Each structure stands twice: as structure tokens, then as C-alpha cells.
Structure 1
Amino acid sequence: MNFKTIVINWHITETCNYHCKFCFAKWNKPTEIWSNPENVRNVLANISQHFRSQGYFHIRLNIVGGEPILFPERLWNVVETAYSHEMEISIITNGSHLENIRPFAHLISQVGISIDSLDHETNLNIGRECGGKTIPLETLRQKIEDIRKVNPDIKIKLNTVVSMHNYNEVLVERFAELHIDKWKILRQRPFNGNHGVSDYQFYAFLRNNFNEKFMQTNVPEHREDMLTAFIGCEDIEKPSEPQQVIFIEDNDAMTESYLMISPDGRLFQNGNIEYAYSRPLTEVPFAEALSDIKFDNEKFESRYGTWLTQDAVNKMERFFHVVEDDYGDFECFAELSDD
């Protein structure tokens, strides 16, 4: 049996109730094909046929926006169709209307919530607001708890983009209170006139927030229940190593390492300042569309490992001289040789 895994990110809508200044989910108001159920069936069948034929046992459809949860009935149609193709289903949202997925949360394996700050003024500056309102931590906590009541096994991930507005904010302790399964820290990409963040700003955020030990002291209750269930089972050993929670992606790791579909049904890639697009998946087989763009499968696989995170942490530690340079035993006037 082949256990190869692929993740497809379908940005099904550009519409959003927030207006983040550095958002890269911009396509100049394209025709959004998800309004037609037939288009949804064709695109997901195209994806399924291609990757099943390539030996992929596990396909995860990651539904992204804009803000997909603003349209729960359309979203349900995408979820239902993906479920019929035996795909795992995850959703990325800003969390403002998380309650909209409650009726079908039992079919969702993971919800990723984009939270860049817990400070009201900072969120206003970023554009993470609607009508001047932002999400307080306690409101977010309640929304997550309500979804977990429907699906105790659902994984909760937080996504944070480091920008000039939040780089000096310490979030790790308060995020740990939410008992999350994963926290992905991303570096703001240069895009559409935005210049990204400096090395200092990115590494300052990592220095203030990379604390796996703190995260491990706040193990989600459902994970504790799973570990408790392992005890007494003859064939299953309780994991000896704690599960990593914090993952870091620098700009290079994000380039050409995602398989993304635009709202109008084309594969697109982020290797340049402007997007590169394929022919529509409603018109050509997935393999032909894939040949129109660049996709680095090795980079894709590395994003789910630990070395990219450790590499970013190592760079941060060298940047701030957290670790000593290994020059102590070097004798400047010693005779040098190949030995």
C-alpha cells in the first residue's frame, strides 16, 4: 500500500470580511467557479483521478479564501463533494464566523485560524477587522470549544504572519491557553507592492515566541485522552517524544512548494512577484495544468518536517548571538595543513 500524501489548497473565493494590508489572496475579482456545483464536481474529480493514478493514498483538500466560511451553503457543497471522493478536508479561516461550520464540523479534520495579533489596535493597523471589530482571545476560545464539542478529534492550527505590525508581540503564552495542535509562523512575503519584513523583525518574533516547552505544558485535552487510551494496549506504545507544535516557514520555504487553485479554477504559483497560472482545471486534465506551472515536490514534503523550523531557529540564534561561535580553540598562528 502506498501512503504518499498530497495537499491541495483551493482558494475558492476572494471575498473576505477583513482587508489585511499584506494579503496575497488577490486575483482582481475573478469569476468564482464554486458558485456552480458542476464546476466543483469537475475540479475535484480531476484532482482525485490524477493523484489516485499516481499512487497517492491520501489527498487533503485545504479550503482557503478570502474567507470561505462567509458562504456556508456553498462551502458545504465543496466539503460534501470532497468527502464523496474520500479526501481529507481542512479549512483556513480568520475565525470570525467559525460557528458557520458547526453543522458539518464532524467531516473536517483540521481548522487553521489566521491570527496575527491579540491586540485590538494592532489588528486594526493590519486590517484584521470588520467594522472596527476584532476577535478577543476569550471569544476565539469559546468558538474553538464549541467546534470541539461537535468534533472532539478536530485539530486546531493557528497561522501567524510576521509583519512590521506584530513582530514585537509575544503571543506564545496566550496561544498555549487555546490548547492548539499546531502553530505555523510564516514570514510576510513581498507581494503587490509590499516589501515583506526585515531579518531583524522576523528573527525578533521568533526569539520572543519560539517556546516548544511552554506549548508542551498545555497539551490539548483530546490529545491527553488519546495518550491515556494507549495505556494498557499491548500493541501500542505511548509516544516517548512530545509532538512538535510550532512550525516556521521562511520565504524560501514557501516558494513553489504549494499546490494552489485560484477562485477561477486555475493552478497558480508564487515563484515571482506576480502569479503564474495554468489552464483551467475545468478544461484540461490536472497533469496538463500542472505542466504549466512550477512545483517543487521536495520543498512540499520538507514543509511537513522539522528541519525547516530548526534551520530558522538556528539562523535566529546566530543572528542574536544566542549561541557562541565555535572559534574558541582556533590558533591564529598555528601551522595549517589538510589534516
Structure 2
Amino acid sequence: MRPISVNFHLWKPCNYHCRFCFATFRDVQGYLTFSDATRLLLLLREAGTEKINFAGGEPTLHPYLGELLSESRRLGFVTSIVSNGARIAELLEKHTGNIDWVALSVDSASEVIQKKLGRGNGDHVQRSIALFDELHRYTIHVKLNTVVTRLNFQEDMSEFVRRVRPERWKVFQVLPVDGQNDGSVEELLISTQQFQEFVERHQALLGENFRPVVETNDLMRDSYVMINPQGQFYNTTTGRHLYSSSILEVGVDAALAQVGWNVDNFLARGGIYAWE
């Protein structure tokens, strides 16, 4: 199967310090130039990629995200941004027409818990609600991303979900990755049963078109096609990041074959949906 949807982690800088982040890229230096990044996008498009998800770090802080969104639109991609909301408002002013989807990351409706998790300084929830409202006004498709940890697995986020009205709500079991979040994630880990408790608590949302897209650790690993800031595919099969050769040097097919991709898990977690 061609890599129909790709997560491109543009760079590692971020304005937050989420304790569970598995994309800190401690072992990666620098990021692609604009010229190399656009060449990478062209290679992906030629290989059959339809949707490009720009992630980080925090992608909205990237110096030429707007230009990459424009180039992605020119190439015919469905575009998506996974963000904590840092500079979404500024980006919308100039590049609304080049953005199809925005996924905002909110793990709890409690400002206290968000701060304890390292996401924000006590105002992340209210800022996110305002951004969801703005995205709805622009008629941009919205997703809500929630990482379930020991600090929030007993929470009921139903009221918050109804308030922000995401088209997709992605619910992730906190994922430990050696070399990325070790030393900070251990106290946040939960069992699959505890994760399932969180999921079951939100079953009432099923009839309201807010069905959670649920991803356990086993389902998450290797089900994404991911690219690091240096333009290499990577996965977490071994519990650490495994990197391919440079895509620009060996091509999409050869580089992806070096790290692998679990297509069955990709399909099982709903990786293909009506994103057009």
C-alpha cells in the first residue's frame, strides 16, 4: 500500500514541555531547508501520499510552515496541522485557504492537570476553546487530540468535547519511547485496562457523532508513516526511534522499507477516513 497519509515532524522546538511527548528528537540535530522540504513533499506526492500532517515540536513556530502549506496545496495534498495552538491564529490570517484540517491537543478540561502535564501555564484549555471556535468560523475541519495518562484517565471530558465539537476525537494511551520521553513519562503510564476505562466513560458520545478514535500503545506503534526533522522515516517498533536513510537520498520506497509500516494497524485505527 502506498503511504497515503504521512506525518512530517518539521522540527523539534516547542513552546511547551509535555512530559509524555514522544517526539522530542533529542537525537536529531537541525531540520531541512525550505528547498529540501519542498523536494521531500514532491517525492511523497509522486509516491502516492494524499494527506500531509505537519507536526513537531510545535509546527506553527516553524519559520516557513506557511510556505510549505502553500506548496502542499499546489501539489494537491490534503493539508493538516497538529498543534498546541501556539500561532494558529496568526497562521489563519495568511494561509486559511491552504489549511484543510487542524488538530488541537487538549488532554484534560482541567487547567490544573494540563499545567501538571507540561502543556501550558494554566490557560491552555480556555485558549483552545477560543481557537476551536475560530476554526469553526473559518469552516476548517477540526480534530481533538487527547493523551490519556495517570493524571486524567479518571476524568470525564464529555462536556468539553461537546463544547468544542471536533469532527474527530483521537484518544491515545500515553506511549513510552526510550530516548524521547524516558525520565519524565514513567509516573504518567497507565494500563490498557485504565485506558479502556477512560474510553468507556465516554460511550454516551457515540450517538452524538463524537466517537473517539481509540489508539492503544499496540495499535499506535508502527501504524503511522512518520518523518523526522532531517527527512528520515522513523518508527518505534523496538521502543526507541528507528530511523531510515534520508528520503532525499534513497527515495520514498527504499527509505520506508528500512523502517516498515504496519498497514493492518493503520487501517484498524481508522487511518483512512473522509478527509477530502
Asked whether the two chains share a fold, i.e. TM above 0.5, the reply is yes
Alignment of 1:184-223 (within 5 A): 184-192=170-178, 193=182, 194-195=185-186, 196-213=189-206, 216=208
1:148 and 2:161 aligned: no
**Equivalent residue for 2:107, pick from 88, 97, 116:** 116
Letter in 2 for 1:101: L
Residue 34 (structure 2) aligns with: 37
Residue 22 (structure 1) aligns with: 20
CA distance in 2, matches of 1:29, 1:68: 18
Residue 153 (structure 2) aligns with: 167
Residue 74 (structure 2) aligns with: 84
CA distance in 2, matches of 1:156, 1:121: 24
> Relative to structure 1, is the Cα distance of residues 147 and 163 closer, same or farther in structure 2, using a 3 angstrom cutoff?
same
Residue 333 (structure 1) aligns with: none
SS of residue paired to 2:82: strand
**Equivalent residue for 2:65, pick from 56, 75, 78:** 75
**Equivalent residue for 1:135, pick from 115, 124, 130:** 124
**Equivalent residue for 1:254, pick from 220, 223, 227:** 220
CA distance in 1, matches of 2:34, 2:86: 26
How far apart are residue 305 of structure 1 and its match? 7.0
CA contact (8 A) 2:169 2:210 kept: no
> Relative to structure 1, is the Cα distance of residues 286 and 24 closer, same or farther in structure 2, using a 3 angstrom cutoff?
same
CA contact (8 A) 1:96 1:135 kept: no
Alignment of 1:247-326 (within 5 A): 247-304=213-270
SS of residue paired to 1:292: helix
CA distance in 2, matches of 1:213, 1:252: 23
Larger Rg: 1
CA distance in 2, matches of 1:68, 1:305: 21
1:81-127: per-residue Cα shift (whole Å, max 9, x none)?
A: 21121111001001233212212122211111111012122112111
> Relative to structure 1, is the Cα distance of residues 8 and 211 closer, same or farther in structure 2, using a 3 angstrom cutoff?
same
CA distance in 2, matches of 1:305, 1:95: 23
How far apart are residue 199 of structure 1 and its match? 3.1
> Relative to structure 1, is the Cα distance of residues 29 and 133 closer, same or farther in structure 2, using a 3 angstrom cutoff?
farther
CA contact (8 A) 1:105 1:147 kept: no
CA distance in 2, matches of 1:263, 1:248: 27
SS of residue paired to 1:33: coil
Letter in 2 for 1:47: L
How far apart are residue 251 of structure 1 and its match? 1.2
Q: Please, what is the CA RMSD of the aligned residues? A: 2.2
1:205-254: per-residue Cα shift (whole Å, max 9, x none)?
A: 1232232246x1xxxxxxxxxxxxxxxxxxxxxxxxxx563211111111
Letter in 1 for 2:124: I
Letter in 1 for 2:218: D
CA distance in 2, matches of 1:49, 1:136: 39
> Relative to structure 1, is the Cα distance of residues 5 and 275 closer, same or farther in structure 2, using a 3 angstrom cutoff?
closer
SS of residue paired to 2:72: helix
> Relative to structure 1, is the Cα distance of residues 49 and 213 closer, same or farther in structure 2, using a 3 angstrom cutoff?
closer
How far apart are residue 271 of structure 1 and its match? 1.0
Residue 87 (structure 2) aligns with: 97
Higher relative contact order (CA 8 A, sep 6+): 2
CA contact (8 A) 2:58 2:86 kept: no
CA contact (8 A) 1:158 1:182 kept: yes
Which structure 1 residue ranges, 5 or more long, are not aligned?
Answer: 52-57, 217-242, 307-339
Letter in 2 for 1:15: P
CA distance in 1, matches of 2:105, 2:228: 19
CA contact (8 A) 2:155 2:198 kept: yes
Letter in 2 for 1:278: S
1:55-95: per-residue Cα shift (whole Å, max 9, x none)?
A: xxx61000011111123x51012112211211110010012
